[in-house]
Amino acid sequence: MIAKPWDAQLAYWLVKPLKDSWVNPNHLTTVRLVTGLAAAVAMSTTGYAYAVGDVVWANIGAWLFALSNFLDHTDGELARLSGKSSKWGHQYDLASDAIIHIILFVCIGYGLREGKFGWWALLMGIVSGVSVACIFHLRNQMEQRLGKDASRQPNFAGFDIEDVLYLFPIVTLLDGLEPLLIAATIGAPTFALWVIWQFFALPQSEAN
């Protein structure tokens, strides 16, 4: 059995007191969405911030994104604890995931347009964001048809592969957004192609 990720375990203990309260999972999804969008807006100012030597907003955006990534676990944990799961809530959660990651990369590209890549940075952000959207959509389709195990990420000692996103504040602290954008422009489409291959490799009866 795969160990429950550490962040999901922490989210469980944090939302446990809310089990019988008026707070429902959709409230937490909304908090997560707003936090993620705020992170993206902060990232869109990156170009100006680096130009004047003020990286405060870039760092704030990175911490907000890490927080948003953690909050993504809270709605699901509360839904399971309280029995308030719903199909609409699940779709809302998935849509929020996609929206945040797409807009974040587009805003990073926009924010870096004053750097060495010029307006190519925006195109790189769009490519990364669209690739992420493709990944989320196909993983959602696979989950709906085969269950959560079909889209489960590799896990090692309680860490999922997506936990690398918690390193985002270190990236901004080390002025690494441009290398990150390069990596995303290459890595996200590559991973999307792998997910597409996984999807179409499903037995025909499961892929339809």
- pLDDT, residue 207, reads 47
Cα gap 129→109, rounded to integer Å: 10
Q: Up-side HSE of residue 82: CA atoms within 13 Å toward CB?
A: 22
Domains in the chain with CATH codes: 6-207 (1.20.120.1760)
The structure tokens listed for 162 are 């997506």
Among 101-110, 141-150, 179-188, whose mean pLDDT is lowest?
141-150
Q: Under DSSP, is residue 156 helix (H, G, I), strand (E, B) or coil?
A: strand
pLDDT tens digits, 5-38: 788 889 999 999 999 899 999 999 999 999 999 9
Q: How confident is the model at residue 151 (pLDDT cuts 50, 70, 90)?
A: low
Q: Under DSSP, is residue 128 helix (H, G, I), strand (E, B) or coil?
A: helix
Task: Name the percent of the chain lying above pLDDT 70.
Answer: 83
Among 98-102, 127-131, 132-136, whose mean pLDDT is lowest?
132-136
pLDDT tens digits, 191-204: 899 888 888 877 65
Nearest to 48 by CA among 123, 138, 110, 117: 110
* DSSP conformational letter for 21: S
